[in-house]
Structure 1
């Protein structure tokens, strides 16, 4: 009988263990939801292509209607990236990719001829960046070692356009570090409509101060990674605009002195082969000039200036050209991001979308019926700040139509004719599902891919609940969620871990499917914790005024909101007020550091991963957009730095874990070192973990599971 009891107990233990979310399962891929990556709509409007493990395949939209298998192989093999020429007769394919920074990489590129089924190497297989077909598909422009080239595909001849490219001095046609990181793109050259000219931006970063990072990698002597990184208030690259005409082989320098020219966040050829659109900005990023350039005369015509008392999101422009060279433009000038129609002279025709909600993405313009397709955070004409829908509207602002209806997060990839779109949808209760939907009305046509097995796995592993709510904090209505264990009992007292990011315009609270941090939070809930996230003042989804109220004073309102939210939560009947902690990564690490130092009476533990600790150490474009320069706003930089408050850390009662990667090119480990120095100088005891040779993401091999094991144990021991 005793053996039977022991056997039953052993079986019960196995069942309980099998129903636990584990770090091994999270980081081992058990909860990974397969998706459709790199969807490329084809010209005929009937098909799309996808890069899969064994090759590049084509699918028919209509096959999902009659449930037939339409998969056809375009090219077999394993490719890192691909792109079609405008006529889809050729395809660029990449292998051997080597990452540089967040978006940039080098790779060996080939052009595949779909008719001849043959390959041509770009630049004899040398590792190049950003190869781009000319519109007539006869040439490919690319960058090699900071110089711009093009290759003629008819005879294979390579022409070098620039000769002054040099590492850490001159860059042609691609962005420097700060443009890539903060404006979010790499290629800064563009072909005109007939492929007879190239426009490109040159970066002179010779006066930008160099940052260096020791890289260890088991070397007897570490080597140094050196790159130009402009910190707030310091020199940026000097940027200039140039036009290269293929027939003459000559490059013209464009004089931009008549317009704002500190930054050039975007260049884009219009439908007219002789007209280039150039967006330029002042250093404060609160004035953007929209300009047209006539490429032969180099005449610059300013169409209008977009201005804001605080800042303009210079990393989020929409400029869509119409057949007559008029264009669509997005702006927050009425308090929310909306779409505007301008004619080619820069005269405003009309504001197309209106209302107390925001356009959150732009998908395209259908010239056949003058329809505009976009994503917004509205539902039935009202703002829903944690959800998105897909809509269409006529160019005159009439006939607003919702093309999706499910509560949650909806995005779209439209066919070239806008007849269909692939709707990526997820919510708090439904993993990412891909639907085929009608492009003209709210109509679901078929399910392309679903991930219902994910909910079964998580249910079997005992997942808890994630519930959305709002909190009144410091006079503002804030979005929040709470994660509870499956067996939540409101009569018990639970410790609370707060999680946030809090950066300007960011959103952590959204009705969407879970990410890896969510799974980890569910695991902590299984261990008896509640996890709460509150999007404080300055975050996104609620209009420009809400987002921009932290201007010139980052870290004040955001920290006050997290501390006050924790005080409110501490009064919940099911919360143990003596055990409230907070954690975050990057901006979130900046926040959690500040919270434990300035709110030690409510927070008992904090974890800061890769935190900014003083905005003086961060880059120009991001920091100055929200703070101006340290020379203009010294108090704004220093008064909310966690370094300033290190002496207030109550290390006798509270715990603080500081984590950073030593090879972080984004938020330099200098941030952690200076905070550590401040704590040591004030004789404060704290915990610290360095990840050798790891960047801002702190990943690779077993790194993530080791990191989250460290944080899990720290929470279990100290909260």
Structure 2
């Protein structure tokens, strides 16, 4: 045994010194990059905080020097109150779903040094300071509470919270997954009231997932999961006033009220904004609530003939209570300026490009700070735009993917940038985009990769049958010979509004793709119809027919590659995860004459099995659109499977249920189709933990080496 272990250690050591990118190196952390964690500007605009191993550190923008720790200790995250006199510190956490987690928090008074364990040191969810900094609201056991920070007294606001039945102030599974956040309550600006969403999920069908573990009898995880066309939670908006300690149900009967995706505070006391929607999600009401009386005024309705991105709301109230709103009205996502009564003042940004992120507004200069695709759809740049004149100033690099964290006064920002050829750098700039100092780079990471013969992506476009030019990238071997024919391995995701062809550092599968290139493959990716950042029409073409045009474009791309002199058209494979796994499954059925091999990880194989909010946003319900569901399901085409197909799924996937893999497997079996199947016990949609990822990627590599 000792001799065998010694031999393995020698082989590993040799692998580390070989000039290639290996799976061992990837999963050992050998190529791991460096970052800056938890960047947050302090209120004075002259300092910023970051999370370091020894505590929450304070730095000067002007000198970039550390000025000590705001708090000592080890913390996962932190939140200041508005005055920065107190800080909420996350000490311990347990994940629940994608965004939600249980946490143990301390509140520290930065003046007195007093530390108060929130909720007596017990787990809570979504704690939030009141604007006056005297209280913290939180959720425990599906009920809403607040704690007075002077006396420590805890007040329970709701009492009817119950698992898998009633939730107060917190998203249910599908809201969290598809609207992108777990918190569903907000304080008023004057801290005298809270508006929260109550979700009654008692009629939502329950999902059961077997958990195997090492126990004698497997247990079950049960949670409410509304599938397409099934019952959703019945939601209502509730107003709680601290002075009366009473809850008032708000009357939304005259407005769209099937979903309540968001709750926002305005710049005025006694006001809260609710974003509401009907089930089809093709229109959203923006409602202003008077928190003294409960009266509701509709500011306006945002509508679209297909869908509204209810998971991507941009809304900020300015000092005069006018507000900035993001919408796709003119064919691209842009910003609009409204007065406090919901009357449109003007469109702020215009052009054949999109606003991809909103950072804030500087009242002194009258400028909004945004991330856009102004320099091409595969790039993201940071700009500022004067809301009165429309003048735009580029602040970041003109290429690559750039994001910003601005100081409170907008005099400085920390730019995080990367490209397909260069990992992340962190640079301090002034408010006009002038570089002041590089704070962190990843030259060491890049040198290791270059020493191991890393190749970078080449960007170009490919035509589809509809006449569009699809963004694409390709990775070729270092010793590429244009006269040689190579096997092609295509990667894609293809989901609505997504983007895989991006001029950014690939922290996902990029290193694995390099490993495959060094094994003699060409790797490529194409963003077909349905993907994002090329305009609303390109993104929403797939409405009511998820999968139809997406797979047509992947097939067209594969055929185009097959005509290139350096590609062996008889050795084309495809890979994807989640929506990408769905596409890979369609490729090996509807595209069986084009693709020789495919790997589908955690795929949807029938949209009837996926959640209501996501699926119905793009497809409507199965009752309304049965053909859209069935005509684009891989299960429908199981009889067409020809190539080598590897199906992979985690048995505890709470997102895309293992049921998808089981149904497709049964369809393939009944059609006498041979395929490979790997189930990962008790693993969720991410399929990770321990040695899971190394084993998974070795299995996929072996499959390709044997079958492509």
User: What's the TM-score bracket when you normalise by the shorter of the two chains?
Assistant: over 0.9
**Alignment partner of 1:684: what SS?**
coil
Q: Does 1:344 align with 2:340?
A: yes
Give the TM-score normalised by the residue count of structure 1: 0.96
Q: Does 1:53 align with 2:45?
A: no
- Offset of residue 507 of structure 1: 0.3
In structure 2, the partner of 1:236 is: 232
In structure 2, the partner of 1:138 is: 134
* 1:632-711 correspondence to structure 2 within 5 Å: 632-650=624-642, 654-711=643-700
- Cα distance in 2 for partners of 1:127, 1:444 equals 43
Select which of 285, 292, 295 maps to 2:291. Answer: 295
**Alignment partner of 1:482: what SS?**
strand
Select which of 165, 168, 173 maps to 2:169. Answer: 173
- Cα distance in 2 for partners of 1:112, 1:690 equals 46
- Cα distance in 1 for partners of 2:133, 2:162 equals 29
Q: Does 1:526 align with 2:518?
A: yes
Q: Show CA shifts across 1:289-344 (max 9, x none).
A: 11111112211111111110000100011111011211110110111111101011
Q: Does 1:507 align with 2:496?
A: no
Select between 402-411 and 254-263 the one with higher mean Cα deviation: 402-411
- Cα distance in 2 for partners of 1:16, 1:77 equals 35
**Alignment partner of 1:109: what SS?**
strand
- Cα distance in 2 for partners of 1:531, 1:15 equals 23
Unaligned runs of at least 5 residues, structure 2: 1-9
Select which of 461, 470, 477 maps to 2:452. Answer: 461
In structure 2, the partner of 1:4 is: none
The question of whether the paired residues in 1 share the 8 Å contact of 2:420 and 2:456 is answered with no
**Alignment partner of 2:589: what SS?**
helix
In structure 2, the partner of 1:265 is: 261
Q: Show CA shifts across 1:256-293 (max 9, x none).
A: 01110011111112111111111111111010011111
* 1:196-345 correspondence to structure 2 within 5 Å: 196-345=192-341
- Offset of residue 73 of structure 1: 1.2
- Offset of residue 429 of structure 1: 1.8
* 1:469-618 correspondence to structure 2 within 5 Å: 469-474=460-465, 475-618=467-610
**Alignment partner of 1:675: what SS?**
helix
The question of whether the paired residues in 1 share the 8 Å contact of 2:353 and 2:373 is answered with yes
**Alignment partner of 2:229: what SS?**
coil
In structure 2, the partner of 1:86 is: 82
In structure 2, the partner of 1:354 is: 350
Q: Show CA shifts across 1:207-244 (max 9, x none).
A: 00000101011111111100000000011001101111
- Cα distance in 2 for partners of 1:165, 1:185 equals 19
In structure 2, the partner of 1:37 is: 37
Q: Show CA shifts across 1:336-362 (max 9, x none).
A: 111101011111000111111101100
Q: Show CA shifts across 1:494-520 (max 9, x none).
A: 111000000011000000112230100
The question of whether the paired residues in 1 share the 8 Å contact of 2:15 and 2:22 is answered with no
In structure 2, the partner of 1:158 is: 154
**Alignment partner of 2:284: what SS?**
strand
In structure 2, the partner of 1:631 is: 623
Sort the Cα spacing of 1:347 and 1:590 in 2 relative to 1 into closer, same or farther, 3 A: same
Q: Show CA shifts across 1:628-685 (max 9, x none).
A: 00000000000010000001112xxx20000000000000000000000000111111
- Offset of residue 709 of structure 1: 0.4
Select between 15-24 and 159-168 the one with higher mean Cα deviation: 15-24
The question of whether the paired residues in 1 share the 8 Å contact of 2:596 and 2:644 is answered with yes
**Alignment partner of 2:554: what SS?**
helix
- Offset of residue 397 of structure 1: 4.2
The question of whether the paired residues in 2 share the 8 Å contact of 1:504 and 1:539 is answered with yes
The question of whether the paired residues in 2 share the 8 Å contact of 1:464 and 1:526 is answered with no
Q: Does 1:427 align with 2:419?
A: yes
* 1:377-392 correspondence to structure 2 within 5 Å: 377-379=373-375, 384-392=376-384
**Alignment partner of 1:489: what SS?**
coil
- Offset of residue 686 of structure 1: 0.5
Q: Show CA shifts across 1:39-72 (max 9, x none).
A: 11100101111112221111111113xxxx3241
The question of whether the paired residues in 2 share the 8 Å contact of 1:353 and 1:397 is answered with no
The question of whether the paired residues in 2 share the 8 Å contact of 1:90 and 1:137 is answered with yes
In structure 2, the partner of 1:411 is: 403
**Alignment partner of 1:310: what SS?**
coil
Q: Show CA shifts across 1:131-158 (max 9, x none).
A: 1110111000000000000000110100
The question of whether the paired residues in 2 share the 8 Å contact of 1:580 and 1:605 is answered with yes
The question of whether the paired residues in 1 share the 8 Å contact of 2:43 and 2:408 is answered with yes
Q: Show CA shifts across 1:372-392 (max 9, x none).
A: 11110003xxxx000011111
- Offset of residue 583 of structure 1: 0.6
**Alignment partner of 2:598: what SS?**
strand
In structure 1, the partner of 2:436 is: 445
Select between 113-122 and 537-546 the one with higher mean Cα deviation: 113-122
- Cα distance in 1 for partners of 2:686, 2:53 equals 25
Q: Show CA shifts across 1:118-177 (max 9, x none).
A: 311111111111111101110000000000000001101000000000000000011000
In structure 2, the partner of 1:712 is: 701
- Offset of residue 490 of structure 1: 1.3
The question of whether the paired residues in 2 share the 8 Å contact of 1:467 and 1:481 is answered with yes
**Count of residue pairs the alignment pairs up:** 697
The question of whether the paired residues in 2 share the 8 Å contact of 1:484 and 1:522 is answered with no
- Cα distance in 1 for partners of 2:508, 2:615 equals 28
Sort the Cα spacing of 1:15 and 1:490 in 2 relative to 1 into closer, same or farther, 3 A: farther
In structure 2, the partner of 1:73 is: 69
- Cα distance in 1 for partners of 2:450, 2:396 equals 28
- Cα root mean square deviation, aligned: 1.4
The question of whether the paired residues in 2 share the 8 Å contact of 1:378 and 1:388 is answered with yes
Select which of 103, 111, 114 maps to 2:107. Answer: 111
The question of whether the paired residues in 2 share the 8 Å contact of 1:465 and 1:485 is answered with no
Q: Show CA shifts across 1:526-582 (max 9, x none).
A: 000000100001101111001000000011111011111111101111111111100
- Offset of residue 117 of structure 1: 2.0
- Cα distance in 2 for partners of 1:609, 1:115 equals 52
Give the TM-score normalised by the residue count of structure 2: 0.97
**Alignment partner of 2:581: what SS?**
helix
In structure 2, the partner of 1:182 is: 178
- Offset of residue 194 of structure 1: 1.6
- Cα distance in 2 for partners of 1:512, 1:71 equals 33
